[in-house]
Structure 1
Amino acid sequence: MLEGAKSIRVRAATIASAGAAIDIGNVLSSSIHSVARNPFLAKELFGYAILDFALTEAIALFALMMVFLITFIFRSQKEMYL
């Protein structure tokens, strides 16, 4: 049971960080394309890009927090039965 939990938390952390990296790459790419098409909106688009970066990183950090939470819950249950 404990080995399965370790595998699940590693997969969850990997998926969350990979998803965040893909989303940040998409935001940066879209921002560059948008500024290239309309340079006068560069400041406004930069603000939207920063907001999306922050929200994406928050999701990745939330997933990492859940991985740590699962880790400590399973650790405390194992110690409880010993």
Structure 2
Amino acid sequence: MAKLSSAATAFFLIFALAFFSEVYAGGEGSLTPQGCAPACDVRCSATSHKKPCLFYCNYCCAKCLCVPSGTYGHKEECPCYNNWKTKEGGPKCP
């Protein structure tokens, strides 16, 4: 059986964490700050307003450490993400 180098092992672990954070991006505090970008890439993949979506998604994820699964809806998975409102009372997080 071949041994994996430490670099290959580290790459595999980072890839696995990124993959699982995208797939299982639900639950308050379920992400690390490093897991926000891949989860937000998935969350904002279907919008035509990618730049603001990614900005606010990453901003919200940094505070809540959670991004709802899918590209739309499912905000009940992340109460912090869901309940954060703008001054006007609209949703802050995409």
Larger Rg: 1
Q: Which has the higher helix share?
A: 1
- Name the TM-score, length of structure 2 as normaliser: 0.26
TM-score (normalizing by structure 1):
0.28
Which structure is higher in RCO with an 8 Å CA cutoff and minimum separation 6? 1
